[in-house]
Amino acid sequence: MGVMFALAGSLMARSLARPAASVIRGRLRRLLPPLWLFAALLVPAMLYAGWRAPRGEGFGWWLRLATYVVPVGAPPYPESLGAAGGRLEQSWADEAAGPLWYLRAYLWFVVASPLLLKALRRAPWPTFLAPVALTAVIGTGVVGIPGETGLALTDFAQFGSCWVLGMAYQEGLTRKVPRYLAVSLSGFLMAFGLWWALGHAGEGGIDLNDIPLAQATWSLGFTVILFQYAPSWQALPGRLARLDRFVTLTNNRAVTIYLWHNLLILATVPLIDLLWRLPVSDGAFGTFLGDTYAGWMFLAVWPLLALAIVLLGWVEDVAAKRRPRLWPDGGGRRRA
């Protein structure tokens, strides 16, 4: 995730050569319509499955649903929904809405970018390191900020240095730091992140998503090293050129893929479970299916993802004020 935020920060810094207000409007215009389509399908599905306002929240709960329209905060969703033993796991709504935290963080980074860029130009190092310092304060329990405000600030803080790094890269500031020094310090930063994660592992082991300071330091160190060695290509070279259409398609449907991928992965389970109905599922095939279940999920998610791109991805073209396309991999343009 740190790499994604750094790349987005770099692109945002480049765009801010234009008036900031128009850049922010353009970013939000491209982000929100895919979210609206996602919410228009997900929220009614959750309500139909039995989701209701928790007792005592009343109007406030309905007001929080507005964050599905403009994700300034975390939208509400049930952690468990449906009956045990149903076609989907009871956590399907939680899994489907889980990626929305990224859109919330992205929105706040976009809005804050003009100020971050000004601060970076005036005081590069304090601006670069301030988010990590903030994570050390609010992400470790030194200062507790409850509720959705705390979650939003923690997300902003733990990936803030990666976003600022992308801006610094675009501004040419990273080239002023010797490579050996950048790589060495990043290695120490990643080592600290690993050490901190080992000391704060949960019952299920190490999960950086649950350890903000480890996430912040590891992601920043990794991204700095990646930026030091990342090649600058106008086009994919050699054999990698075969991936050009796939990369183009992914870029043109990035928001659609991100929003729907969790739900599509869950949808592979009931599809694969149909194989258990085959007469041969009681024998060696059943054993093979159970041992390779994750591989079957990996294979099954790709056609579902392609279907989502065709049926839902066009909204990204509408958001970008382009003619809607079903499969924008750039192939037709080159043939023309």
Higher pLDDT, 60 or 260: 260
- pLDDT for position 75: 87
Note the pLDDT tens digit of each residue in 172-183: 999 999 999 999
* Contact between 2 and 220 (Cβ < 8 Å): yes
Report whether 309 contacts 249 (CB < 8 A): yes
Reported as a single tens digit per residue, the pLDDT across 235-277 is 778 888 889 999 999 999 999 999 999 999 999 999 999 988 8
Residue with tokens 């839902």: 312
pLDDT digits (tens, 9 = 90+) for 183-212: 999 999 999 999 999 998 887 788 898 899
Give residue 319's Cα distance to chain centre.
Answer: 19
Q: Is the pLDDT of residue 164 over 90?
A: yes
Average the pLDDT over each of 39-43, 157-161, 279-283 and give the range with the smallest value.
Answer: 279-283
Q: What is the DSSP string of 150-188?
A: HHHHHHHHHHHHHHHHHHHHHHT-GGGS-HHHHHHHHHH
Q: Is 202 helix (H, G, I), strand (E, B) or coil?
A: strand
pLDDT of residue 336: 38
User: Looking at residue 228, what DSSP letter applies?
Assistant: H
Whether the pLDDT of residue 108 is over 50: the answer is yes
105's tokens: 């963080």
pLDDT confidence of residue 332: 62
Question: d(Cα 326, Cα 336) in Å, to the nearest integer?
Answer: 17
Determine the pLDDT at residue 231.
79
Q: What is the mean pLDDT of residues 18-46?
A: 95
Q: Is the pLDDT of residue 38 over 60?
A: yes
Is this model's pTM higher than 0.75 or not? Answer: yes
Distance of alpha carbon 59 from alpha carbon 56, whole angstroms = 9
For the chain, give the number of residues.
336
